[in-house]
Structures are given as C-alpha cells and as structure tokens.
C-alpha cells in the first residue's frame, strides 16, 4: 500500500543483513534494492516499459546532467522527470557531487558559493550551489533528493578528507534549509571520510545532528580495493541509525552488492549493468560471460532460458556474439536488458534469503563468483 509521506520500515535481519521497505507516494521499494542509473532521464538502450518488467522499483537521475539537458524549464513544464520520461515510479537524484570529482578539471570549489563548473557541453560557466542543487532536484520532482557534497578522489591525505567533510557538512546544512519541511519527499545526507573510520564517524555525527531521512556512504568505489571498501562499510554501518535507509553510492558488481548487504546496506546504484551490456559483458547465475569471446560463436544456449522479456530466452549466445562483432545496436540493448533483469533477480533472491534466514549460505555461494 502506498503512503503519502516518505517512511522506512525495517522488517527483519539476518545477522547484519537487513530486509526492509521504503514507502513513497509513487510506490514502495523493497530493500535491499538496486536502482538502475538513468543519468539523463534514460537507462541507456532500454525502454521504460521493459525496465518496469524487470521488477525495478526506483531509478536514479542526475542533477548536474539534467540541469544542462533538457534543463529545468522543460522539466517543469512536465511537472518533473516522471511524466517527461514516462516513469511513474520513484526517482532518486544524485546531487551533482560526484561530478565535482569526475569533472574536476572543469570545476573549482568555493565553500561559500558551491562548485563552479565550466560546462562540458558548451564551456559556459555554471554555479552549482547547495541551494541550486536542491532547487534543480525539486524541478526534477524526485522522490529522494541527495545533499550536495564534496567527494574527494581516493587519497590517504587526512587533511584533504577533513576539509571535504567540513565542506560537505556546511553544504548539507544549507541543503536541509532549502529542502524545507517536505514530508512527501526525502533528503539523504552523504557520509565522507575516505578509508578512515574516525573521519567517517565524524562525518556521520555531524549529519545526524542535522537529521536526514536516510544516510548514504559516499566516496567509495573510487579506486580502492573491494576488501578496503567492505572494511570501510563495516566500520560505519554499525553506527548508522537502524530506522533509516542506508545507501552505498555507485556500487557495483553483484559481489560488491552482496558484501555490502552483508554489512547492513539497503540501497545501491551503478551503471555497470548497462555499461557492461554495451561492451558485450553479461552477468548470469554462472558468473560473468564475455560474449565477444570466440567460444560463444557456436553456442546455441540463451543467457537465461527462463527470461521472457523481449523474448530474450530465444536469442542464443551465438547470435549475440554475431551482433557484437557486427557492431549492431541490438547487441547492447539485449545484453543491457538481460543484465538489469539479472540484477533485479539477484536482489530478489537476496531479500528471500534474508527473510528465510539463509543469507549466509547465499553469500558464501556467490561472493567470489563475480570478482
């Protein structure tokens, strides 16, 4: 049943793994959840109707990119991104903080102002302040908004990380003021601090004092090892609020997700299913399959014999190998759809295993398969 106001319910736990449900006015989200990434209002190469059929309950859009194209004027004419892209379910928007890092050559940070960008499209000067980020997300009409933060590149320099926390906390306060008292939507804070537990705890404490609807772990999946990521997640999740969603941003492979669920994370997003699909890499219950490989040239078997989406079970690995070698767009579309569908199957099985208290068995079976 839909609820008008945003809320989260923790249903059960198996050790640290959590089974829950997020309630929004546009629909509910079973957690642990994976969010397909629709940076520009499209999950690359996929029809919205097909994304729904995979069981996806929420997708992610990006504040910085949607600000540039199509722009808030157009989005506001459609009352937001949902109607514009024909997706009536919940949307979470990244604040633009990741682009501060990924497009660092095109911007500079002024703590009092925000991030000052040179547009990667036309070179124009763009100021993305904390207030502006929230205003854009309101124009997008997203259901879960993220604070604007400073996400440093991978570093062991504590001074850089401490400075980023200071900036992120100040910006988080400004985002909360601009967000206002909106019960139908949610605003998440983002924990920074690199690989240092004390800095992560410092960031979390400062964010808890501001009081957000959920908390994200940022600044990971930026080049650290999987072991370092799991260790960092473990050291912070045990201190995060039990009654609010926990979101690990930009992660990742099925084993990344599985390891983070094992430490109590509820939400994930990553471009990997579709980006891999465009390069011929498929995720299956037997592991990763590189369909470019000549070994699949004469393979009559499908990627998933039980998948009826777009008749995927009727396409052989041989045919997909042929499409890839012929540079046909259909290859990336079919493999991307398969990958998103697999990720949602994977999340569904994770939830079932937590409910049945067999998660440890599931974890041990699959944790190393996708490395």
Q: How many domains, in total, are found in the chain?
A: 1
**Within a domain: residue 306?**
no
256 is catalytic: no
Catalytic, out of 143, 149, 266, 269: 269
Does residue 254 lie within any of the structural domains? yes
Asked if the structure places residue 233 within a domain, the reply is yes
182 located within any domain: yes
For the chain, 371 residues long, give each residue's pLDDT as a single digit of tens: 667 899 999 999 999 999 999 999 999 999 999 999 999 999 999 999 999 999 999 999 999 999 999 999 999 999 999 999 999 999 999 998 778 777 777 778 899 999 888 887 888 888 999 999 999 999 999 999 999 999 999 999 999 999 999 999 999 999 999 999 999 999 999 999 999 999 999 999 999 999 999 999 999 999 999 999 999 999 999 999 999 999 999 999 999 999 999 999 999 999 999 999 999 999 999 999 999 999 999 999 999 999 999 999 999 999 999 999 999 999 999 999 999 999 999 999 999 999 999 999 999 999 999 87
Inside any domain, residue 197? yes
Radius of gyration of the chain (CA): 20
Measured CA to CA, the distance from residue 147 to residue 216 in angstroms comes to 10
Residue range of the domain that includes 167: 7-276+338-366
Is 318 part of a structural domain of the chain? no
Q: Which of 94, 143, 266, 304 is catalytic?
A: 94
CATH of the domain at 33: 3.20.20.105
- Asked, for residue 296, whether it belongs to a domain, the answer is no
Verify whether residue 269 is a known catalytic residue. yes
Residue 68 has phi, psi (to 5 degrees) of: -75, -40
Is residue 184 within 8 Å of residue 5, measured between CB atoms? yes
* Calpha distance 111→355 (Å, rounded): 45
Q: How far apart are CA 59 and CA 54, in angstroms?
A: 12
Query: Is residue 109 in some structural domain?
Result: yes
Contacts of 157 (CB under 8 A, 6+ apart): none
Secondary element (H or E) of residue 116? strand 114-118
């Amino acid at each position: 049943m839909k609820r008008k106001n945003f809320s989260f319910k923790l249903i059960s736990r198996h050790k640290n793994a959590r089974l829950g449900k997020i309630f929004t006015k546009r629909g509910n989200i079973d957690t642990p959840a994976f969010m397909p990434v629709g940076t520009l209002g499209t999950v690359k190469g996929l029809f919205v109707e097909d994304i729904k059929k995979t069981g996806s309950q929420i997708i992610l859009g990006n504040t910085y990119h949607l600000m540039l194209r199509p722009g808030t004027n157009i989005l506001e004419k459609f009352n937001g991104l949902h109607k514009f892209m024909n997706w009536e379910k919940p949307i979470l928007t990244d604040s633009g903080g990741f682009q501060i890092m990924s497009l660092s050559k095109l911007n500079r940070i002024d703590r009092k102002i925000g991030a000052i960008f040179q547009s990667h499209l036309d070179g124009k000067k763009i100021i993305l302040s904390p207030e502006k980020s929230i205003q854009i997300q309101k124009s997008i009409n997203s259901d879960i908004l993220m604070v604007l933060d400073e996400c440093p590149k991978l570093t062991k320099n504590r001074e850089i990380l401490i400075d980023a926390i200071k900036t992120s906390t100040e910006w988080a306060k400004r985002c909360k003021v601009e967000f206002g008292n909106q019960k139908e939507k949610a605003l998440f804070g983002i924990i920074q601090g690199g690989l240092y537990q004390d800095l992560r705890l410092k960031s979390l404490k400062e964010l808890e004092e501001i009081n957000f609807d959920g908390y994200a772990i940022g600044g990971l999946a930026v080049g650290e090892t999987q072991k370092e990521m799991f260790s960092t997640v473990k050291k912070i999740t045990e201190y995060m609020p039990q009654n609010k969603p926990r979101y690990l941003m930009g992660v990742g492979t099925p084993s990344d997700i599985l390891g983070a669920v094992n430490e109590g994370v509820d939400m994930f997003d990553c471009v990997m299913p579709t980006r891999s699909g465009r390069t011929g890499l498929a995720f299956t219950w037997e592991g990763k399959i590189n369909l470019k490989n000549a070994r699949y040239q004469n393979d009559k078997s499908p990627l998933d014999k039980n998948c009826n989406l777009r008749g995927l079970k009727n396409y052989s690995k041989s045919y997909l190998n042929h499409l890839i070698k012929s540079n046909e767009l259909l290859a990336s579309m079919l493999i991307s759809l398969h990958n998103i569908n697999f990720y949602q199957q994977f999340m569904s099985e994770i939830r079932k295993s937590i409910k049945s208290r067999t998660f440890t068995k599931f974890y041990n079976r699959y944790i190393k398969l996708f490395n």
